[in-house]
Amino acid sequence: MIDAIWYFFSFVVTLGILVAFHEFGHFWVARRCGVKVLTFSVGFGRAIWKREGKEGTVYQLGIIPLGGYVRMLDERIDDVSEEERDVSFNAQSVYKRFAIVAAGPIANFVLAVAVLWLMFGIGVPTVKPVIGDVKADSVAAEAQLERGSEILSVDNVEAYDWQQVQLGLMSAIGDDETVLTLRTPDGDEVKRTLNLSGWQFDPETESTFGSLGIEVYQPAVYTELSQVESGSPAEAGGLKEGDTITRIGDESVESWTEIRKIIAESAGQDVLFTVQRNQVEQQISVQIGERESQNGVIGYLGVVPVTEPLPDDYVFTHQYGFFSGLAKGAEKTWELMVVSVKMIGKLLTGDVSVKNLAGPLSIAEGAGVSASNGFVYFLSFLALLSVNLGIINLLPLPVLDGGHLMFYSIEWVRGKPVSERVQDVCYRIGGVLVFALMALAISNDIARFAF
């Protein structure tokens, strides 16, 4: 219940920011073009707060936080006096109307740049995309990727972390192949081509790189003990630093994963450990301690195993200065725009399943999770959504900004506007298409969360 409330709150904040900036783009340019703005609303439905500005614009918050609007004086809707005709929207030149409508999506792209600029200024804690184990008989294995190699780029997308790798691979969905540039454990820079012709990817159950057989690097953990905590059950039982666990009870163990599982399941029990100590095998009985966890009471031993050292600078903070951060924010925004356009194209061609469409529940979950992970991760999620909102609004569907821009482009070429009858028919068709897409996204959400 607490998670649901947090997700809803995060969703409202996220959508409120995106809508406010989008509508402010329309509002700001409309005012600069001399158009009278009647209402600036974030949210739909009954106003839960409103205030009238000196210029006559009503600013308000609607009770339904699923969008917003800027209502301008328009002769097609309002009774406009002769004195105010020059400040009505429909009386403006096609160039001004085009600018006013285009300003909404552009504001979303500007917001993305600003958010990413702030994010890179604060610094993003991250890890290098170093390859761990490679699954046998996978696309990665076929391309001869090796453990310990660092991914430098995916095609032309720089890969400084796993999120960038994900972004690059998503761009390649539906393609026959993609090229990874890698730095091998020996320091050599090589290129490897992944054959994607038979690639099957389910975003609900796996990551893009995981579906290709690439696992995130995790240091190897051995069964030798590097540390025994003072006052722990292990110390009380006689285990010592340097001991190598070979058996627990009658069961032979070869990995730390096996040892951890047995310990977790043996809370409060006396367990017999067989260890190698100074090349001599010994048996030591230890009463496993107890510790509370999210899954109830689990066993606790109090030891730290020997682990493989991390690659140099494996964990780092991705951070830029004032001007370089702005440039990086603009570059990252452009990358997100390109990926968004490619994904929409692949949805239309069927290379990407419509099951990947996310609705408000998925967005709410993403907002809540990213906000819980930290402010910089929320900023990253906000930038991604802002770019997507801008791109979607530019689609040439009549009920969206892109549809209006399409009509204005035709008007500019023809020298006269598209007839109201044709526009009305197009609006109806566009409305049905947008409603169908929304219904599909919501049904995907229901399927994800119900099952």
What DSSP string describes 30-90? HHHTTPPEEEEEEEEEEEEEEEE-TTSPEEEEEEEEEEEEEEE--TTTS---GGGGGGSGG
Task: Please tell me whether residues 25 and 102 are part of one structural domain.
Answer: yes
More confident call, 221 vs 157: 221
Task: Please tell me whether residues 385 and 297 are part of one structural domain.
Answer: no
Q: Does residue 170 lie within any of the structural domains?
A: yes
Task: Please tell me whether residues 20 and 102 are part of one structural domain.
Answer: yes
DSSP classification of residue 321: -
Question: pLDDT tens, 150-167?
Answer: 999 998 788 888 888 888
Q: Which of 23, 150, 335, 365 is catalytic?
A: 23
Other Cβ atoms less than 10 A from the Cβ of 7: the count is 20
Q: Does residue 10 lie within any of the structural domains?
A: yes
The whole-angstrom separation of Cα 6 and Cα 11 is 8
- Listed in order, strand segments (DSSP E) in 196-311 are 214-216, 221-228, 244-248, 251-252, 270-277, 280-287, 289-293, 296-300, 303-307
Please tell me the total count of domains within the chain.
3
CB-CB contact of 137 with 131 (8 Å)? no
Task: Please tell me whether residues 190 and 225 are part of one structural domain.
Answer: no
Amino acid 357: pLDDT: 64
Task: Please tell me whether residues 183 and 249 are part of one structural domain.
Answer: no
Strands 177-183 and 303-307: unpaired
Amino acid 120: pLDDT: 93
Residue range 29-53: mean pLDDT, rounded: 91
Q: Does residue 47 lie within any of the structural domains?
A: no
Task: Please tell me whether residues 117 and 189 are part of one structural domain.
Answer: no
Task: Please tell me whether residues 167 and 278 are part of one structural domain.
Answer: no
Domain holding 250, by residue range, is: 221-307
Question: pLDDT tens, 74-83?
Answer: 888 888 788 8
Q: Does residue 97 lie within any of the structural domains?
A: yes
Amino acid 354: pLDDT: 62
* Residue 103: CA count within 13 A, CB half-sphere: 21
Question: pLDDT tens, 92-140?
Answer: 999 999 999 999 999 999 999 999 999 999 998 888 899 988 898 889 8
Among 307, 335, 355, which residue terminates a domain? 307
Question: pLDDT tens, 338-384?
Answer: 888 888 887 777 666 666 666 555 666 666 666 677 788 889 889 98
Amino acid 37: pLDDT: 92
Task: Please tell me whether residues 153 and 296 are part of one structural domain.
Answer: no
Buried b / exposed e across 217-247, counting CB within 10 Å, b at 16+? Answer: beeebebbbeebeeebbbbebebeeebbbee
Percentage of the chain modeled with pLDDT above 90 = 43
The confidence band for 186, taking pLDDT boundaries of 50, 70 and 90, is: confident
* Residue 7, φ and ψ in degrees, nearest 5: -60, -45
Give helix then strand counts, H and E, for the chain. Answer: 12, 18
Amino acid 412: pLDDT: 92
Strands 131-134 and 214-216: antiparallel
The confidence band for 180, taking pLDDT boundaries of 50, 70 and 90, is: very high
pTM (two decimals) = 0.78
Task: Please tell me whether residues 15 and 96 are part of one structural domain.
Answer: yes
CB-CB contact of 41 with 65 (8 Å)? no
Among 288, 307, 326, which residue terminates a domain? 307
Q: Does residue 355 lie within any of the structural domains?
A: no
Q: Does residue 13 lie within any of the structural domains?
A: yes
Mean pLDDT of the residues in the chain: 86
* Residue found by looking up tokens 């991760």 in the block: 377
Task: Please tell me whether residues 169 and 272 are part of one structural domain.
Answer: no
Percentage of the chain modeled with pLDDT above 70 = 90
Task: Please tell me whether residues 386 and 437 are part of one structural domain.
Answer: yes
Is position 84 annotated as part of the catalytic site? no
| Alpha carbon separation from 66 to 3, 42, 103 (Å, rounded) | 20, 9, 20
CB-CB contact of 301 with 263 (8 Å)? yes
Task: Please tell me whether residues 230 and 298 are part of one structural domain.
Answer: yes
Q: Does residue 264 lie within any of the structural domains?
A: yes
Q: Does residue 144 lie within any of the structural domains?
A: yes
Q: CATH code at 173?
A: 2.30.42.10
